Structure 1
Amino acid sequence: MINPQIASEATKKNIKTHPIWFKLKHNKMTLIGFLILFAMIVLALLAPVLTPYDPIKINVAEKFQGPSFRHLFGTDEVGRDILTRTLFGARLSLGVGLLVIIIAACFGIFIGAVSGYFGGIIDQIVMRIMDMLLAFPTLILAMALTASLGPSLHNAMIAIAIVEIPIYVRLARSETLVLREKLFVKSAAVFGIRPIPIILKHIIPNAVSPVIIQATLNVGNAILMIATLGFLGLGAQPPTPEWGSMISIGWKYLLDYWWYPTFPGIFLFLTSGALNLIGDGVRDILDPKSNR
């Protein structure tokens, strides 16, 4: 029989040696999220190999065919294979969602660090602008910006990045207000190092942890916003294979051809759910204040 004290000591040793892996291994929902996301990435990368069809080629002779061995997810109103378009749509949604959050986080952490470090009038101006952006519902503001810029995927990406930036600015600023009082930051200023190098080399590297946590939580939301703008006709334009635009067209045929909007919707649901599970897990692992 295993001595409980020895087992407890071994467990503590594993926690100290591999703290991140130990926490991840015991968080089943996060592991499920990683497995789903990994499957989605593999399907997206292998899309040209897994399906012989062209995602935008029209074949009217095969329109509205139900799921079968020839077309596992059926076909759409112009005979395009829905499985093919869904897999290629995964490429677009995952790539764009991740890119938008990276852009927003990079700009946000720099602006927030500059605002928090300098303080005064610069801080007041920056934070009032951020408050103005946060005063509007995120999706409504993204819709308004995309509509003013013009309906397209690139403009949708710009709009979503803009509405996400204030979140990271506030996070980075709050961390910077604490860090600028630390001895190593004050010492760097005393030795004549200019403010921008201090911000880049001393402030941002130490303020990045909460930004990473927030970014992992926001990737799923970004994918949903891209799909929503596509659904409203403000994002990716036909014939680009994108989940939101596919659902937007397919819901009109839901009663007669249920497979059209259903399968892209399932992929969108699974991907956003997996990313939210991963975000919760990363927060639990990296945030020392989390007791979950």
Structure 2
Amino acid sequence: MSVQTELLPAKRTVNPLWYKFRKNPLTLVGLVVLLFIILLAIFVPLISPYEPTKIHVVERFSPPSAKHLFGTDEVGRDIFTRILYGARLSLGMGVAVVLSAGVIGTAIGAVSGYFGGRIDQIIMRLMDIVLAFPSLVLAMAVAATLGPNLFNALLAIAIIKVPVYVRLARAETLALRERLYVKAAYTFGIKPWRIITRHIIPNAVTPVIIQVTLDIGDAILMVATLGFLGLGAQPPTPEWGAMISVGWKYLLDYWWYPTFPGLALFLASCGFNLIGDGIRDILDPKANR
């Protein structure tokens, strides 16, 4: 008598991205805070009836109330409205500058690591020169040289961020170019540029993504710092650093003026840092040990 045994497929362990995020409550806190700020910034025309740059001198320095949640500034502009419009600017600039630096730095680092030799030496010495200066001091110098405006501030921050991604991409490329599939592609006569774009960069992008998520919060703070020093966005642009730069002079008498923009900057920066830590734990195998 034969007994037929039916083998059932083994259950696969499901470990989705959301489950990994849930394992880190601080990451969820950062995600919720950031989504809240982004939603407010997107729907600010529906939330607030005020214009961010329209002057109402009669209502200058009005304290927080039902009419003006965060009070008004020295010319009667609604601070709550300006903070939400400033969120569009500050968050957008932080993300844009880090993504730009990441893309440019990854491409340069991949070229440097793959070709090696004199090309590698020249590129890395240039990166060492940039890294030799304190980042904020160099950003201030570049922004002041180019002229105090928003685009030049973004360019200055991107310049000081690029070397970090160049080093990351180069280190990954040095390891990847010794892999069998890369050597096989070279043996079959595939052009170096195609090897870099098809085989090197896609496999070297994981540490770059981790660094990007961790750098966005720092970039937002640096944008605000340049704005605070008068080297970034210029009045009446609703930018958090510029608002704090003017508002701190009135701190003792009108505490709400610099406090609420500073709080928004703090929450946004913390949100990105917490999300960056969570993504690092997910994408970095060593962090899960």
Hey, what's the Cα distance between the residues in 2 that align with 1:136 and 1:253?
34
TM-score w.r.t. length of structure 2: 0.95
1:122-149 per-residue CA deviation (whole Å, 9 max, x = no partner) reads 0000000001100111111100000000
Name which of 229, 235, 246 aligns with 1:238.
235
Question: In the alignment, which residue of structure 2 is the partner of 1:65?
Answer: 62
CA contact (8 A) 2:55 2:75 kept: yes
The answer as to 2:103 corresponding to 1:106 is yes
Deviation at 1:19, TM superposition (A): 4.2
Aligned-pair identity in percent equals 66
Question: In the alignment, which residue of structure 1 is the partner of 2:71?
Answer: 74
Question: In the alignment, which residue of structure 2 is the partner of 1:162?
Answer: 159
Name which of 18, 22, 36 aligns with 2:19.
22
The answer as to 2:199 corresponding to 1:202 is yes
Deviation at 1:20, TM superposition (A): 2.7
- Provide the aligned length of Structure 1 versus Structure 2: 280
Hey, what's the Cα distance between the residues in 1 that align with 2:194 and 2:145?
37
DSSP 3-state at the match of 1:234: coil
Name which of 129, 133, 138 aligns with 2:135.
138
Alignment of 1:23-38 (within 5 A): 23-38=20-35
Name which of 255, 258, 261 aligns with 2:255.
258
Hey, what's the Cα distance between the residues in 1 that align with 2:83 and 2:158?
24
Hey, what's the Cα distance between the residues in 2 that align with 1:150 and 1:274?
31
TM-score w.r.t. length of structure 1: 0.94
Deviation at 1:23, TM superposition (A): 1.8
Question: In the alignment, which residue of structure 2 is the partner of 1:126?
Answer: 123
Hey, what's the Cα distance between the residues in 2 that align with 1:34 and 1:233?
31
Deviation at 1:24, TM superposition (A): 1.0
Name which of 201, 208, 211 aligns with 1:211.
208
CA contact (8 A) 2:221 2:265 kept: yes
Hey, what's the Cα distance between the residues in 2 that align with 1:227 and 1:261?
13
Letter in 1 for 2:271: A
Question: In the alignment, which residue of structure 1 is the partner of 2:273?
Answer: 276
Letter in 2 for 1:94: L
Deviation at 1:291, TM superposition (A): 3.9
1:140-179 per-residue CA deviation (whole Å, 9 max, x = no partner) reads 1100000000000100000000100000000000000000
The answer as to 2:186 corresponding to 1:178 is no
Hey, what's the Cα distance between the residues in 2 that align with 1:43 and 1:19?
29
Hey, what's the Cα distance between the residues in 2 that align with 1:46 and 1:284?
32
Question: In the alignment, which residue of structure 2 is the partner of 1:8?
Answer: none
Hey, what's the Cα distance between the residues in 2 that align with 1:20 and 1:226?
31
1:211-265 per-residue CA deviation (whole Å, 9 max, x = no partner) reads 0000000000000000000000000000000000000000000000000000000
The answer as to 2:54 corresponding to 1:42 is no
Give the CA RMSD over aligned residues.
1.2
Letter in 2 for 1:176: T
DSSP 3-state at the match of 1:289: helix
